[in-house]
Amino acid sequence: MNNNEYIRLSLELHLFFDRIMKEHSLFIEAAFMEKDKELKPIARDFQETFSNFLGESIRLANGNISNDFLMSEEIVTKNTLEAENKTSMLSGAPINTNLTLNELNLRSGNVSATENLLNSISNLNKETLPVIENLIYFKNDILDSVLSCQMYTTNYPLLIQHIQNEAKMYYNLLARVEQRMAFTQNYIYEQELFWNEIMKEHAEFIRGLLDPTEEELIMTADKYANEYKMILQNYGNNPSYLASTSLTETINFRDFKIAGEEGILNCKIRSIIIPLLADHVVREANHFIRILKSANKY
């Protein structure tokens, strides 16, 4: 991995995952009961720390990220700002929307590695890795408490495990980049399996968080959950065909998520889905779509 690839891949990982991690921490905080209110400041600290990492990434990213990445809408969508404002209003949690405004003004370009930029990226990576690890431990402690019936939270146990797995993926990818390890075809295969599982779980969460009266939407979400199960069960048979199937499936599922988010933002859908979670899952689908489209480069 040369210096330019190291810079670009580091920044793209930070821009996507730092926002994901700070939002995970918000979802965790919002789901705690009064009994566990002492854990809220810990979740808030993670939000602030990942917001700081994201701010630094945005500062370094102008002209140093690919156009494919920037246009994928995996860091912000047209609805992110509204989703943040409505989530802040509903939850009372402060959200730094200046980060979103700054991301909307980012531009792509060809990386020109300098010693200062390389040092800044390396420092950012090395500062972030132990914080991701601490967040993984925090999520694991919460999951253990829930599964041992010592804690009640409005988050499904599977959702807690789900966001822990995403943090583990971020840690592994960032550590790999920091060690200058090249991404190969096997990396694409691993990512396809991982994100297909994530999409399946998104469909299951959406199904369970919709109001029981939203029968048509529940059936559609259930259909996507079952279709992703079939993809995962058959992945070893013909990976290239199933990658193509995953791409078509995920584009369709992403469009379903966008329609759902807009319905939630316009108060047209009955659910217990917080607006920012609806935007969050759209961005993760966009991230997966870009990975699938890039598969033929390896």
pTM score: 0.94
Q: Which of 151-155, 243-247, 258-262 has the lowest mean pLDDT?
A: 243-247
Q: What are phi and psi of 215, to 5 degrees?
A: -60, -45
The pLDDT assigned to 189 comes to 83
pLDDT in tens, 111-120: 888 999 999 9
The pLDDT assigned to 239 comes to 62
Percent of all residues in the chain with a pLDDT value above 90, rounded to a whole number? 85
Please report where in the chains the tokens 């992110």 appear, as a residue: 80
Closest listed residue to residue 170, CA positions, set 112, 221, 224, 131: 131
Please report where in the chains the tokens 């899952």 appear, as a residue: 281
Q: Give CA–CA dist 156/88, Å, rounded.
A: 22
pLDDT in tens, 55-73: 999 999 999 999 999 999 9
Q: Give CA–CA dist 189/238, Å, rounded.
A: 12
The pLDDT assigned to 182 comes to 79
The pLDDT assigned to 119 comes to 95
Element (H or E) spanning 179, and its range? none
The pLDDT assigned to 298 comes to 45
Radius of gyration for the chain, computed over Cα atoms and rounded to the nearest angstrom: 19
Q: Give CA–CA dist 86/25, Å, rounded.
A: 17
The pLDDT assigned to 245 comes to 86
H helix runs in the chain, sequence order: 3-31, 40-61, 67-71, 80-91, 98-104, 115-147, 157-178, 185-209, 215-233, 239-265, 275-294
* CA distance from start to end of the chain: 14
Contacts of 69 (CB under 8 A, 6+ apart): 12, 15, 75, 108, 290
pLDDT in tens, 177-232: 999 987 777 777 888 999 999 999 999 999 999 999 999 999 999 999 999 999 99
pLDDT in tens, 16-34: 999 999 999 999 999 999 9
Mean pLDDT of the chain: 93
Q: What are phi and psi of 210, to 5 degrees?
A: -75, 150
Task: Specify the DSSP class assigned to residue 111.
Answer: -
pLDDT in tens, 88-110: 999 888 999 999 999 999 999 99
- Domains, the chain, in order of start with CATH, read 1-65+106-182 (1.20.1260.120), 183-298 (1.20.1260.120)
Closest listed residue to residue 132, CA positions, set 17, 291, 266: 17
Confidence of residue 286 (pLDDT cuts 50, 70, 90): very high
